[in-house]
């Protein structure tokens, strides 16, 4: 089995790494403190070609493989999870459903502007009472006189409210048959009457990403805005999450790598008892454990990407990657704070931000408990 990256993948890693160090790192702390979403950084990511990386060139994409995209997310998360979240949510959850399930007309209409950084697109699944249980969706969509009339709300929607947020793919209950809900996905554009996008503030983590509540009050959308076919909503949304798991795993891997690098650097600079603290076995062994976890997480994630790129089943490995990378991000960030000691609890040190940012990874796009459910079902079927 060949573990070498291609020359193109190496170039992508170095390019995104340089961009993150040059453009994101100097402003990450300020954006986090202000809770401010950066239009400028988002547009620069679009100009760099990071949006639509896996899409064909005819839609404005880069026609790259999955691993190249995952490497890009990983390198952003190594510096700042907020910017990585913008990229990951837009590519996997925003662009993904339109590309895989949209008509040619829908692809031509939406994808070019979603690939160049001009627009962002959101994934409207989560509701106040529908998180892990996606089938608890209460938002409704009734077809009348050639229009979908949508009522309800969504919450915790990434890329949902900034001036770049052009709309969302929304799961709604379109019918109830024999007490069974029928779900349909619909594309709802910004500016549609009855559609309101409200930013959510005061988050503990990903403070510089755009998180929104979406409200639909007799929101009327043309019938042709349906994505896929009526009744396919749940299938479309859940299959999208399969792909999304890889990008969240990449965020966990990148965050863990960044936290590990901070810990190594600090252990060389900090002196106690007359020598650098990495000279003490308690610290060096902790660093060894951290390095091993990061290496294992990367191998598992890259295998899942290889399976996907080679058109092999990858759902099991995607769930495993999301679970493991999220959990080791928590463990490595915690260890890095411990190595920093009291300084790790101060905002002057970026590890404090990393410690907060990792916490969503075990919740977003399927909790760790849901990943275990997915894994157990696949290995026991």
pTM above threshold 0.85? yes
CATH (residue range 235-380)? 1.20.140.10
Q: How far apart are CA 3 and CA 302, in angstroms?
A: 9
Using the predicted structure, report yes or no on whether residue 371 has a pLDDT greater than 90: yes
pLDDT in tens, 317-336: 999 999 999 999 999 999 99
* Cross-strand partners of 219: 150
pLDDT in tens, 48-59: 999 999 999 999
Q: How far apart are CA 36 and CA 31, in angstroms?
A: 5
Token duo for residue 249: 């795993």
Every domain range in the chain assigned CATH 2.40.110.10: 121-231
* Cross-strand partners of 202: none
Cα dist from 218 to 144, 153, 195, 215, 233, whole Å: 12, 11, 8, 10, 20
pLDDT confidence tier of residue 3, bands split at 50, 70 and 90: confident
Every domain range in the chain assigned CATH 1.20.140.10: 235-380
Residue 207 near residue 83, CB atoms below 8 Å: no
pLDDT reported for residue 188: 98
Active site residues: 365
Q: Average pLDDT of the chain?
A: 96
pLDDT reported for residue 68: 98
Q: Count of CB atoms within 10 A of residue 206's CB?
A: 27
Task: Name the nearest CA neighbour of 165 among 202, 195, 186.
Answer: 195
pLDDT confidence tier of residue 244, bands split at 50, 70 and 90: confident
Using the predicted structure, report yes or no on whether residue 271 has a pLDDT greater than 70: yes
pLDDT confidence tier of residue 1, bands split at 50, 70 and 90: low
User: In CATH, what class is 121-231?
Assistant: mainly beta
CATH (residue range 7-119)? 1.10.540.10
User: What is the β-pairing status of strands 140-144 and 147-158?
Assistant: antiparallel
Task: Name the nearest CA neighbour of 120 among 81, 84, 76, 158.
Answer: 158
pLDDT reported for residue 178: 87
pLDDT in tens, 168-224: 999 999 999 988 999 999 999 999 999 999 999 999 999 999 999 999 999 999 999
**Sign, Cα dihedral of 310, 312, 313, 319:** negative
Every domain range in the chain assigned CATH 1.10.540.10: 7-119
User: b/e for 239-272, b at 16 or more Cβ within 10 A?
Assistant: bbbbbbbbbbbbbbbbbbbbbbebbbebbeeeee
């Amino acid at each position: 089995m060949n573990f070498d990256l291609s020359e193109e993948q190496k170039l992508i890693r170095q390019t995104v790494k340089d961009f993150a160090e040059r453009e994101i790192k100097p402003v990450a702390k300020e954006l986090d403190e202000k809770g401010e979403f950066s239009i400028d950084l988002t547009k620069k990511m679009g100009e760099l070609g990071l949006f639509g990386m896996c899409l064909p060139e005819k839609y404005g994409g880069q026609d790259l493989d999955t691993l190249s995209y995952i490497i890009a997310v990983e390198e952003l998360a190594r510096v700042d999870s907020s910017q990585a979240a913008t990229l990951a949510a837009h590519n996997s959850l925003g662009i993904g459903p339109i590309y895989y399930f949209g008509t040619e007309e829908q692809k031509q209409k939406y994808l070019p502007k979603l690939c160049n950084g001009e627009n962002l697109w959101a994934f409207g699944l989560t509701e106040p009472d529908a998180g892990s249980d996606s089938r608890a969706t209460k938002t409704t969509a009734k077809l009348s006189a050639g229009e979908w009339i949508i009522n309800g709300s969504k919450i915790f929607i990434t890329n949902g409210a900034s001036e770049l947020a052009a709309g969302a793919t929304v799961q709604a209950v379109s019918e109830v048959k024999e007490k069974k809900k029928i779900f349909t996905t619909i594309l709802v554009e910004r500016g549609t009457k009855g559609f309101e996008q409200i930013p959510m503030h005061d988050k503990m983590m990903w403070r510089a990403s755009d998180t929104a509540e979406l409200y639909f009050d007799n929101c009327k959308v043309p019938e042709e805005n349906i994505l896929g076919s009526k009744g396919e909503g749940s299938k479309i949304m859940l299959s999208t999450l399969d792909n999304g798991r890889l990008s969240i795993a990449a965020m966990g891997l990148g965050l863990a790598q960044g936290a590990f690098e901070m810990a190594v650097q600090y252990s060389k600079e900090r002196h106690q008892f007359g020598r650098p603290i990495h000279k003490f076995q308690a610290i060096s062994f902790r660093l060894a454990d951290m390095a091993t976890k990061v290496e294992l997480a990367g191998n598992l994630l890259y295998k899942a990407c290889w399976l996907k790129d080679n058109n092999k089943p990858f759902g099991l490995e995607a769930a495993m990657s999301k679970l493991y990378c999220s959990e080791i991000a928590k463990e490595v960030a915690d260890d890095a704070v411990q190595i920093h000691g009291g300084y790790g609890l101060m905002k002057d040190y970026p590890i404090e931000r990393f410690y907060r940012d990792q916490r969503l990874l075990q919740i977003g796009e399927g909790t760790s408990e849901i990943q275990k459910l997915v894994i157990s079902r696949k290995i026991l079927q």
